[in-house]
A and B are shown apart, each in its own frame.
Chain A
């Protein structure tokens, strides 16, 4: 042994342990990694923005005493029956199939108690969610699983899904383990097969066709229902403009942090843009068309707190939608099930193999034994509590910024912590008046 010091072992940044493990997994199995959830990488996000709060130039409102309203109207452009929600936090589309029936029931219970809407998903409308959701948005998806005119008419709004933040340009997937008899019947599929949803609608392509498709949906429902168009965060300026042109009442914009029930990891982590970069583009499209606030904008993808809600609305959104956060509120990835997560080779917080249907929390499964563990009444109460807390948090911040309605929040109340966040959000870097690409530097 030499007395000279050795070079310590050095791991490669490019070929990290995670990367090497994935290469070995691919080599052993011959299949790409499929998982649920949204992007796990560190992305520029709402965390990179801060509120400025009131000062001499603007005065705050008294917390708890002075009113700060939270309600929102959706679908005021064309629909005879627009939707009025008490709070601007809605529940995003998640399918029966991906989630159990009791989990859908809990979403309906919680959202209704908090005064907001839930959304169906790629598997049709279930009695659990229609029965427990005062306001239910019915998704119109490329697969058209379970689609029928009766459910269209008993929905409160229709959401034409063009894309999803986790996989803009990609279709859905529900692996055989979750195609139970009930799920198969609703989708007109054989039981137990891997089900691949189309990425493109079967009977329209492009914005001109979409305009006619929306005409048809409005005619079928006698122009009563608000029509949303959901887009994945890829080209938000043009997609928002085209959605408005096609006749949308509401644009739903989902960033890459938005979750999915099951998609290729390579897709989730490498396609689309973070929601922070998407919102200003969509708002600009609406403003350029003179349609901001006339066509409402709902944003989603990584919304976790009332601060995130307030920041999204300051950037120009009318409301937000939550999916992953709602599942966590119900009990998904709860450390109480740590021993069972360990048995599945994972740990609480990291569990994302929702497609395998073995969820210890009984939420992302079709196994009756597992979903017996989940109490939809308790789950609904937890979701209601969480929605109320988010709303209170957003109100607290809005009052501190001197706003008597969440809709009065404005970008002038924000600063950015990083140059990237400043460039994406159009908000000046903290301590400067610098917005990269905009002002005189």
Chain B
């Protein structure tokens, strides 16, 4: 395993070193020490490497990740794994606002709680949160799945498109055009897979969740729905 001391070597050196791994296969395990809440740690990676951050991170850790597995042995600041394309990001602690925002692929696992706007505008990413999520989560979520083992805050899934939302606990309120939907066998199957990949299969069973999705009433403008806009 390669060790990178972020405090000593600096952010620019870290990201340029990790970017240089594209196309290489012989330095696949990295550990970053002394992150001390720095922003933009391990952003724009594009190689099947395994990066472990020993501590908490600031904004946008693992932003736009492709292929890499990034593990944060602490909590993550706002926008963790934003616009992720593929790969896996696992946060041992909590995640701040906008976790997984606009993500287009890959898997984001948050073992603690996620704050507001988790999965905002998600476009294909899968998100598994072991704890609770804050208000306005999955706002305008387009596609992908979000699994929440705990509770969801206000206005879940407001104005969402085709993303699938699964919540085990309570939902404080649903956002505009978001409704509870029937859990069919294919959803239970999807959920079982997500729980397994999200390292939560021992913690919850698919049958304990409810499914939420779009009522599709706001897909084309209608003046009689104006109060929902």
Residues of A within 8 A of B59 (CB): 209, 212-213, 216
Given A188-B143, A193-B219, A215-B40: A202 in contact with B64 (beta carbons within 8 A): no
B52-84 Cβ-contact flags toward A at 8 Å (1 or 0): 000000111001101000000000001100110
Chain A residues 236 to 268 lying within 8 A of chain B, measured CB to CB, are none
Residue pair A194, B221 in contact (C-beta under 8 Å) = yes
Tell me whether A220 and B64 are in contact (CB under 8 A). Answer: yes
* Cross-chain contact B58 with A149 (CB below 8 angstroms): no
Which residues of A in the span 1-46 have a Cβ within 8 Å of any Cβ on B?
29-31
A309 CA to B121 CA in the complex, in Å?
38
Which of B12-20, B27-35, B178-186 lies on the face that meets chain A?
B12-20
CB <8 Å contact, A220 and B121: no
Give the residue of B44, B161, B221, B224 whose beta carbon is less than 8 angstroms from that of A189.
Answer: B161
Do B221 and A219 touch (CB < 8 A)? no
- The answer, yes or no, to whether B151 is at the interface (CB within 8 Å) is no
- Closest B residue to A173 by CB, please name it: B221
Q: Give B212 Cβ to nearest chain A Cβ, in Å.
A: 17
B162 close to A (CB within 8 Å): yes
Whether B40 pairs with A189 at a CB distance below 8 angstroms is no
Please tell me if the beta carbons of A198 and B121 are within 8 angstroms of each other in the complex: yes
Q: Cβ of A216 and Cβ of B60 under 8 Å apart?
A: yes
Work out how many contacts link A and B, with CB atoms closer than 8 A: 101
Chain B residue at smallest Cβ distance from A148: B85
- Also in contact, A149 and B46, with CB within 8 A (given A203-B82, A212-B40, A219-B40): yes
Mask of A188-223 contacts with B, CB within 8 angstroms, 1/0: 111001101010001110000100110110011111
> Chain B: how many interface residues by the 8 Å CB criterion?
43
Q: Which residues of B1-59 have CB atoms within 8 Å of chain A's CB atoms? A: 11-12, 15-16, 19, 39-40, 43-44, 46, 58-59
Contact status B117-A220, CB under 8 Å: no
Taking a contact as CB atoms under 8 Å apart, the answer to whether A203 and B101 are in contact is yes
Whose C-beta in chain A lies nearest to the C-beta of B66?
Answer: A149
Q: What would be 27 A-B contacts, judged by CB atoms less than 8 Å apart?
A: A29-B223, A30-B223, A143-B121, A144-B83, A144-B102, A147-B104, A148-B83, A148-B104, A176-B219, A188-B104, A188-B124, A189-B161, A190-B162, A194-B221, A202-B120, A202-B139, A203-B60, A203-B98, A203-B102, A213-B60, A215-B39, A216-B39, A219-B11, A219-B15, A219-B40, A220-B15, A222-B15
A interface vs B, CB < 8 Å? Answer: 29-31, 143-144, 147-149, 152, 175-176, 187-190, 193-194, 196, 198, 202-204, 209, 212-213, 215-216, 219-223
14 other contacts beyond A144-B102, A219-B15, with CB at 8 A cut-off?
A31-B223, A147-B83, A149-B66, A189-B142, A189-B161, A193-B161, A202-B139, A203-B78, A203-B82, A203-B101, A212-B39, A213-B59, A215-B39, A216-B43
